[in-house]
Amino acid sequence: MNNRLLAGRYELIEKTGEGGMAIVYKGKDRLLNRYVAIKILRPEFTKDEKFIENFIKESQAAAGLTHPNIVGVYDVGREGNIHYIVMELIEGKPLSEIIEEKGKLDYKEAVDFTIQIAQALSLAHKNQIVHRDVKPHNVLVTSQGVAKLADFGIAMPLTKADMNESSDKVMGSVHYFSPEQARGAYVDERSDIYSLGVVLYEMLTGHVPFDGDNPVSIALMHINENIPSAKDEVSSVPYQVDRIIKKATEKYQSKRYKNVDDMIEDLKSVSYIESRFGQNALYGPYGDKAVETAVPEDGNDPKDEKNSKNGKGHNSPAKKDGKKNDGDKPGGILAFLKSDKGSKAIIIGGIVILIIGAILLMGAFMGWFGNHEEEIEVPKFVGMTYEEAVAKAEELGLEIERGDDVYSNDQEEGYVAAQSVTDGSKVKPGKTIVLNVSKGKRDGVMPKVTGMTLDEAKQTLEDLGYVLGTTIEVTSTETKGTVVNQSVEAGEPADQGTVVNLEISDGQGVEEVAVPDLSGYTPDEAKSALNALNLSVGDVTYEEKSDIPENTIFWQSVTPGNYVPIKTKISYKVSKQIDAEEQAKKEAEEKKKREEAEKKAYEKWLKEREDHKVWVVDKEAVYEDKVIIDQEAVEAWDEEVDTGEVDDEGNPIYETVHHDAIPEESHVEQELVSEEEGHYEYEEGYRDGDFKYEG
């Protein structure tokens, strides 16, 4: 399919990958002169009308999502039976490949990727789009470490039949299924949160939590079993990160994060706590690692010097011989505190107090003791200038991140066109909100309205300042009411106010397919090829061919590549082996007929010999370009020849033609000019005459 042109615009350059549902090509948009990724659905999915309908709707909705962590969707279309999506071309690797290369990721890197994916889902969920297929294979990571989520709208619920197959399509997704997806129950935004929790687990451990020989067994694990602890397997995973995974992957949707923004808050708090209180604070109340490793900021542990002198490590026991320590002897606590051991106890106690204080602060941030911090209502930044939005955010205690510069028909250049958190939402102070800024209207370029309903096309044209002209219904295989043609092609320059006429499908068209080239096929292969395209076998004729392999097709009734209605019958001819005995018999019969014809001709003309009309011709020279003539002497004579004209009275006019005498010459070689039923005409200078064979 390489180098094919879709919609007269998108050139397929090379295949870059394929999955269970689609094949991906690197392509070029000739109109905008940029490289793109083009995803083409596999043929088996194009027969499911409901899936195609949902695919188009969700892909078009996803095309409206603009976010640094979402692979941009530029166009969705169909050409013949090819359904395709045109997307942003990402130079990078799938997250699945990064996990495979590294084995497992450092928790900081894993948390960073998870936050980026979650931010992409946040925008999608606010636009009522559920991804349904969050997995590392659908996350592309650029060379700068930016994670971009792809394939919105391409995921589809699997049937029971799918679940009983061990296909790549099913096996690739079921590892990340939420329990409700596995049961075929209601799916919402929290289903994506579950899948994201599984992805985080895989990044930290290097493998998925559940695996099996078939999709059914894996799905049952998601339904019945809890996700294993990542920390139990990888000790360096902070407890708080493990807690986030457990909450995201609760079996019941109601027990998970209410929305992905809450999950983002917890993920960001991990790095915040580490930056404020050190990495050890992440391990505090659920293990003794913090106590074992905590040291003052100067990096020197007071007990190191003492223990090194005694040749003891940090964990050497205080009493090996069962004797009491000095602190247990009479003399009071004051004497003990003045001793070396007492000083050491004071230092250790201070460290413990600091650790406990850090734990209490961390608990406050993580909500262990209840969080009474006042939340902020997000204002409507859309419609403000970017500078106004930044000032407003600072006033409220929010952070602003500038996203993409985008075209907008609603906002003037420099004004905010979209925000990552919906206005009216409640967020915590310090929340980062991504703002896309308008580049102004994109005037002068006609949108693509083919594939839309008439109402959708009208609204799109009017929104951009164009005028809907005439609409006529035409015969088409597209769904009734779908726009199949527009008078001004998509992407063409067009001033506002341009009138656009549309052709609407009546849904009565007959689907056509290209006829395959059957040459060299066996009849069985041809039948399979035709049936696959919903074509039928017509008349089959067998003919003897010595230069074509036996039982192969060498002719077909319709030229390959021509389009015909489905169910058309295609006839073809098949070669069969020549029977040598039968062939020899046929040649013998033809030779006999030829000899009989020659004999009859000889006998006929032998009887009609006349003195001045017959020349004797050498029998052996009859079939050559030159003939040898034994001619008799002929005296000169005059001949009256009809001119074909008439006189005034209507009588024919004759003229006299004089023929010179021909002297007797033997064996004169003459050029043979023509031959017809025994009559030979020779070059000028010799009389025409009939012949007889020299017996």
The owner of tokens 């012949």 is 691
Residue type, 591: K
Contact 75, 62 (CB under 8 A): no
Q: Is 290 helix (H, G, I), strand (E, B) or coil?
A: helix
The owner of tokens 């915590």 is 428
Residue 391 has φ and ψ, to the nearest 5°, of -65, -45
Task: State how far the Cα of 384 lies from the Cα of 392, in Å rounded to an integer.
Answer: 10
Distances (CA, A) of 247 to 8, 107, 257, 569: 49, 17, 7, 61
Active site residue 133: yes
Write down the catalytic residue from 75, 133, 151, 192: 133
Residue 583 has φ and ψ, to the nearest 5°, of -65, -45
End-to-end CA distance of the chain: 73
**Maximal C-alpha separation, the chain:** 174
The owner of tokens 């994670």 is 147
Quick one: tokens of 343? 């000083």
Task: State how far the Cα of 98 lies from the Cα of 91, in Å rounded to an integer.
Answer: 14
Residue 557: how many other CB atoms lie within 10 Å: 14
Pick the closest to residue 126 from 55, 197, 72, 64 (CA basis).
64
Binning the chain into helix, strand and coil, the percentages to the nearest 5 are 35, 25, 40
Quick one: tokens of 448? 């693509």
**Residues ≥6 apart with Cβ < 8 Å to 305:** none
User: Which residues carry out catalysis?
Assistant: 133
